[in-house]
Structure formats: structure tokens, C-alpha cells
Amino acid sequence: MRVVNRVKVAFAAAGFCLLPGALPVRAHHSFAAEYDSKKPVTVTGIVRKVEWTNPHSRMYLDVKDAKGVVTVWNFEFGSPNHLFRAGWTRNTVKEGDQITVEGWAAKDGSHLAQTRQVILADGRKVPGFASGTDSGGAPAQ
């Protein structure tokens, strides 16, 4: 299997956990305390800045409305540790790329959202939150 296909398979399988209604496993803070699962957002824009930082990666998008007014959206992603282990690289999304991001808006009304998935310019969909190490209480065998 070529590398790109292998990564696609990995993303596709992990994406199972990121279907609508399936909120990401939270590690660092409560999802429900910050974001609203009833406020899904989908925006398309140009990546202004990528932050490979903890506790979360962030991507800032310039999003232009019908009147040409640009709003900067702040999308929270999984930690770079989780994303890179899930197959992301620094080239998956770069500054200047046009991407579409789907996620859930913050409760405080700011242009902040948690990412569910990214649709890249070539149409590939990649999960924005990959967290697979919490046993979630899986009992000892």
C-alpha cells in the first residue's frame, strides 16, 4: 500500500469517531463547558496561521462573507501529539491553503470553534481531533 493510501485509510477509520453526533474524546477540558454540540459550523477560508502547540493545535482562517468582509475564525484541533500520531504532517495543512472546516461553535459567541474535520483543497477529509489513548474505563482483562 502506498503511503498516501495508508494515511487515507487511517484517517478514514479514525473518522468513524467523528461522525455527526460523535463528539471528540476530551482530554484537557470539558467539551460541553466550552462548545455547543447544537451549533455545528462549516466555514471555508484561507489559512492565515497554523499553531502546532499544546494543549491544542490551532488554525486561524480568513473567512470572507458575501460583502467581502473578512472574519478571522479560530479553530481548535487536537494536540499536535495526537494529530501527528494519527498521520498528520506539517504539510497536511499549510498557511495559504484554502480549506473547509466543520466543527462546533463556542458557547461564548466568539469566532471560535472546535474542529470535527477538515476538507482539504483536493477533497480529502481528515479528522481534526484524534485522541485514542484514553482507555475510557476499559476494564482490566
Partner 1 sequence: MRTRFVCSLAVGLALAVAAAPQEPAASGGRAARAAVPAGPVPRMSDGKPDLNGLLNGGLSSQDIGVNLAPGEQILLTPAAQKLMQSRRPKDDPEANCLPAGVPRMAPYPWRIVQQATHVFILFEANIHSYRQILMDRSHIPEANRWPSWYGDSVGSWDGDTLVVDTVGFNDRFWFDAKGHPHTDQLHTIERYTRKDSAALVVETTVIDPGSYAKPFKVVYTARYAPKDELMEYICAENNQDVTHITTPTR
Q: Using the rule CB under 8 A, is 50 a contact of partner 1?
A: no
Q: In the complex, what is the shortest distance from the CB of residue 79 to partner 1, in angstroms, rounded to a whole number?
A: 7
Q: Residue 53: what are its φ and ψ, rounded to 5°?
A: -135, 165
Distances (CA, A) of 111 to 4, 91, 132, 139: 33, 25, 28, 40
Interface with partner 1: number of residues (CB under 8 A): 58
Please identify, using beta-carbon distances, which residue of 20 and 68 lies nearer to partner 1. Answer: 20
Residue 59 burial (CB count, 10 A): 24
Q: Using the rule CB under 8 A, is 56 a contact of partner 1?
A: yes
Instruction: Write down how long the chain is.
Output: 141
Positions touching partner 1 (CB under 8 A) are: 1, 3-4, 6-7, 9-14, 16-17, 22, 25-30, 32-34, 51, 53-56, 58, 74, 76, 79-81, 83-89, 106-108, 110, 112, 130-141
